Structure 1
Amino acid sequence: MAQHWQETLPVDQYIVASGGLLHDYDRKVLTFLYQPLIGPACLSLFMTLWAELEENRLWSEPVTHHNLMSIMDMNLKDIYHARQKLEGMGLLKTFVKNGEDGRSFIYELQPPLTPEQFFLDGMLNVYLYRKVGKNQFSRLKRFFSDKTIGADPQYAEITKAFQDVFLSVPPEALKHNPESAIDLKVEDGNSFIGRAEASKIQIDSDEFNFDLLLGGLKESLIPKKAFTSRVKEAISNLGFLYGIDALKMKNIVLSAVNADNEIDIDELRKAARDWYQFEYQDQLPALLDRVQPAHQKAGIAKPNTKEEELILYFERISPRQLLIDYSGGAEPSKSDLQIIEEVMFNQKLLPGVVNVLVDYVMLKTDKKLAKGYIEKIASHWSRKKISTVKEAMQLAKNEHRQYLEWADGKKTPASQGKRKPVRKEVLPDWFEKKSEGEQVQPTGAAGHDPDFEIEKKKLEEELKKFKSGR
């Protein structure tokens, strides 16, 4: 399993580079538009790296990551996670070189989107709206906009053109000695200091099944040429943003076709948004990690046991997909999604860990996602700093009896001696085998037979004897 210390060490050096000149106005864009989505730690890392650049230059001096840890007062694990978020948001490119003296990195800062690009992005603006709400979103739009120059019809433009101000020189003056010819090319390996247009967030088109979409549209009158590269980019982004698969996207695409048999991207966005808000009661999607990060996976190439198969399953799917699988393909309810979102954001649990938690709680509460119960266990896992699926499964086994008491309303040992029916215990599949080879027993079990069915029969026999007055 790749841990953060396998990717970066405090002694590894890094150099900060810039993909273009960063302006002071970018600080406001990063603070007010990006920070709600990536968090203060990511913003702090970006600003710290930015500060290491010399003014109006594109390169910093090489330093070690230990220096960065000291300046930011953060451990390397948090810095590594913040770096990944900046990379995913298109604000940072990372390059690594493995040499005899160890690893060295180049962190190339990327300019953020302009306010206009951000608010018209089609993805980031939706996530920001969902995060800050309608009033704050409107306030931010006003903050990053102003009155258009020349909007007052009483003003007439009198700006002079180039030819009105300057004279053209005689052609002879343009002739020069070949020996004094001006070399307009920059030296090899160098580039002019400037700023390219910031790259928008673009979901890989391989993430969306276009073959299935086009197959479903064969009988329609939409020509293939209508699926331009811009349209495909929009469909990929909308599919990721709203969780729309190829079959559901078919009707959305059909509703966005205009009279010229072209797909109107604005109408496509509107139709996708309307579909999502209809499905989720006027809500908009939030920005969540989709699946367990690669550096927190167990690294199982080929599972040999049922437990390893479950680990791979929990690592490869999102919590939302787990709820869909539980309900046989039906979309999860708004309240269930809110519970998952709050657990991931408030307790800072990774998606794979949340999957284990949901699987455990659903089976303990008759497939009901009890908010108070899941939040209590999530808080415990957060304090224990559980970050992998395997750790979550092991802790659930170790603390099983304690979690039972929480589910039953914190029963005390004394109260458990009262004559109450012994309820049948339902356990996840991964409870059947402990890593130490020891079977986890349900509460109240008297025997130690590893077979759960045999144990259940023994419990029923004990109950009969108990009721008969033993």
Structure 2
Amino acid sequence: MAQHWQEILPIDRYVVASEGLLHEYDRKVLTFLYQPLIGSTCLSLYMTLWAELEENRLWSESSTHHLLMNLMGMNLRDIYEARLKLEGIGLVKTYVKTGDDERSFIYELHPPLNPEQFFSDGMLNIYLFRKIGKNHFARLKRFFTDQQKPKENEFQDVTKAFQDVYTSATLGSMQYLQDVAGELKAEDEEQFIGRHEQKGIQIDVDTFDFGLLMAGLNESLVPKKALTKKVKEVISNLSFLYNINPIEMKNLILDAIDPNNDIDVEDLRKAARNWYQFENNEQYPSLVERTQPPRYRVQAEEPKTQEELLVRSLETTSPIRVFKDASHGIEPSETELKIIEDMMSKKKLLPGVVNVLIQYVLLKADSKFTKNYVEQIASHWARKEVKTVKEAMELARSEHSKYLSWNEEKKTRKSSNKKPIRTELLPDWFDKETNKATEEQPKEKSPDIEARKREIEEMLKAIDD
């Protein structure tokens, strides 16, 4: 991922556009439903851009990002990071045009979901529930609902129909309408001011392996026609939300088949939610970022050394990819995925910090990624409020002896009184060893170990490939 200064500069100009009229009620939806998920900085950016639109207009005047920085009292990196979050959640679309000497942007604001759409979205409502808890969620639901109109059998509908109030135009008047028909349309390159309702978050269906899913489903139980476009969209979202693979999804689909051999999407959502809660001690998933947030990246310049190259990679790569690379291409198991998710959602560690922990543990513990040991280190880093990749590296170096003793204690409990023979593999960034006691530890070398070290060195050299 490119750095913010490669994507945007203070002198770059932008205009704000609206996909449709934004209403005052949207402010309440953004404040109470979206803000807990995206944060106050993102909300402030959206509101500032919105304020640049004159009332009942769809386009703003041109401005520079330098002015936006002054208005918000924020640096460009934070503004860029907030913009990406708004894009991801569907509130902003960004368009760029690059000329010879300048670059200009269009920030198109999209309205939020209406309350009914949000609370029945299937993704955002789940993330909000996890974020604010059951009681506050119920309070917000009450805030955005009201009593239904009285039942029809209690009142009589006396509304007049169109034909009861109006009559058709005369022939002469109709001829007039035909003559001015061209005047009734919007001019070229113009549009009527209006609004289209926002659509919910949709994960690309290509991210889910429907081929593997169908291979595991019996045609007599679930016909192919049951996997409609709507059903596939729901399956893709549920797979992303709850981290469900095609094999597990197959069982959930079988539970959601109705008597007509159709897939009931509401039953499927319920089955997926129940499955996730069963697997995760009645918890719901939380919304976390895939890579290190730009504001916590320290490798701003182009890397020149091997360590700077590694820092850049750990800051811009997802934890799943780092785990796979450190495991020689082997995908993490479901248990290991759950450990990684817990580090980010429960321990609140940032992705770049999690990457350092993954690499440290896998290379130090002979490719073993045990829950108790990982959680012990993660808890320590969380208490230390580690935020950046370099902070995590330095803490791993300085506390290496402690972490080593934690691992040895677990081995000792499992192997009676036998003295464990320790063979260590450490990431290249660990070479700045500060603990003399650790340096004095005897290390057993073998051709296999040397070969694996060479593999790791080659992997680090090919990080940017």
**Could you say which residue in structure 1 is the equivalent of 2:222?**
222
Question: Where does the alignment leave 5 or more consecutive residues of structure 2 unmatched?
Answer: 406-418, 447-465
Q: State the AA in 1 paired with 2:333.
A: G
> What is residue 430 of structure 1 aligned with on the other side?
427
- Could you tell me how far apart the structure 2 residues matched to 1:108 and 1:166 are? 41
Q: Whole-Å Cα distance in 2 between the matches of residues 177 and 263 of structure 1? A: 50
1:187 aligned residue: 187
- Change beyond 3 A, Cα 1:439–1:336: closer
Secondary structure, counterpart of 2:213 in structure 1: helix
Mapped partners of 1:85, 1:49: distance in 2: 15
TM-score, normalised via structure 2 length: 0.78
User: Judging changes above 3 Å, is the alpha-carbon distance between structure 1 residues 79 and 452 closer, same or farther for their aligned structure 2 residues?
Assistant: farther
- Tell me by how many angstroms 1:380 deviates: 5.7
The change in CA–CA distance for 1:333 and 1:278 in structure 2 (over 3 A counts) is farther
8 Å Cα contact 2:343/2:354 also seen in 1: no
Alignment counterpart, residue 315 of structure 1, candidates 300, 314, 317: 317
Shift in Å at residue 58 of structure 1?
0.6
327, 340, 344: which one pairs with 1:340?
Answer: 344
1:91 and 2:96 equivalent? no
Q: How does 1:51-450 map to 2 (within 5 A)?
A: 51-151=51-151, 153-176=153-176, 180-291=180-291, 311=313, 315-318=317-320, 329-331=333-335, 337-344=341-348, 349=350, 351-360=351-360, 363=364, 367=370, 368-369=372-373, 373-378=377-382, 382=386, 386=388, 392=389, 398-404=394-400, 429-431=426-428, 440=433, 443-444=436-437
Distance 1:97 1:261, change over 3 A: same
Q: For residues 208-264 of structure 1, give each alpha carbon's deviation from its aligned partner in whole angstroms, at most 9, with x where no partner exists.
A: 000100111145432111111000000000000110011110111111111111111
- Cα distance in 2 for residues equivalent to 1:381 and 1:452: 35
How many pairs does the alignment contain?
A: 420
CA contact (8 A) 2:13 2:62 kept: yes
Structure 1: distance between partners of 2:383 and 2:100: 44
User: For residues 412-462 of structure 1, what are the alpha-carbon distances to aligned partners after superposition, in whole Å with 9 as ceiling and x for unaligned?
Assistant: xxxxxxxxxx9987755423x66xxx674763266799x8739xxxxxxxx
Q: Closer, same or farther in 2 for the Cα pair 1:190/1:398, shift >3 Å?
A: same
Give matches, 1:21-40, under 5 Å.
Answer: 21-40=21-40
Query: Shift of residue 169 of structure 1?
Result: 2.8
For the Cα contact (< 8 Å) 2:97–2:105, is it kept in 1? yes
Which region of structure 1 is more displaced relative to structure 2, 397-406 or 121-130? 397-406
Cα–Cα, structure 1 residues 10 and 452, in superposed 2: closer, same or farther, change >3 Å? farther
Change (3 A) 1:426 1:173: same
Does the 8 Å CA contact 2:19/2:110 hold for their aligned counterparts? yes
SS at match of 1:10: coil
Task: Report the TM-score, using the length of structure 1 for normalisation.
Answer: 0.77
Quote how far apart the aligned CAs of 1:292 are. 5.2
Paired letter, 2:64: T
Change in Cα spacing, 1:181 to 1:43, as seen in structure 2 (3 Å) is closer
Q: Deviations for 1:88-143, whole angstroms, at most 9, x for unmatched residues?
A: 00000000111133111100000110100111111111111111111111111111
Change (3 A) 1:137 1:332: farther
d(CA) in 2 for partners of 1:446 and 1:185? Answer: 80
Q: Distance in 1 between matches of 2:301 and 2:213?
A: 33
CA distance in 2, matches of 1:238, 1:183: 48
Code of the residue aligned with 2:161 in structure 1: it is A
Q: Distance in 2 between matches of 1:375 and 1:113?
A: 37
Indicate if the aligned counterparts of 1:21 and 1:58 stay in contact, CA closer than 8 A. yes
CA 1:401 to 1:287, structure 2 compared with 1: closer, same or farther past 3 Å?
Answer: closer
Matching residue's letter, 2:427: W
| SS of equivalent residue, structure 2 residue 335 | coil
The corresponding residue for 1:8 is 8
d(CA) in 2 for partners of 1:299, 1:246: 41
Give how far 1:308 is off: 6.6
The secondary structure found in structure 2 opposite 1:107 is strand
**How big is each residue's C-alpha offset from its partner over 1:255-305, in whole Å with a ceiling of 9 and x where there is no partner?**
1111111111111111111111111121111111234579979999xxx99
Q: Quote the Cα distance in structure 2 between the aligned partners of 1:448 and 1:130.
A: 45
1:361/1:374 contact within 8 Å kept = no
8 Å CA contact retained: 2:128, 2:137: yes
Q: Which amino acid aligns with 2:381?
A: I
Q: Tell whether the 8 Å contact from 2:253 to 2:263 is kept in structure 1 after alignment.
A: yes
RMSD of Structure 2 on Structure 1 (CA)? 3.9
Q: Secondary structure at the match of 1:68?
A: helix
Which runs of no fewer than 5 residues in structure 1 stay unpaired? 387-391, 410-421, 455-470
SS across alignment from 2:437: coil
- Residues 241 and 397 of structure 1: CA distance in aligned 2, closer, same or farther (over 3 Å): closer
SS where residue 160 of structure 1 aligns?
coil
The separation in 1 between residues aligned to 2:247 and 2:435, in whole angstroms, is: 44
User: Is the contact made by 2:252 and 2:272 (CA closer than 8 Å) also made in structure 1?
Assistant: yes
Once residues 51 and 319 of structure 2 are traced to their aligned partners in structure 1, the CA distance between those partners, rounded to angstroms, is 38
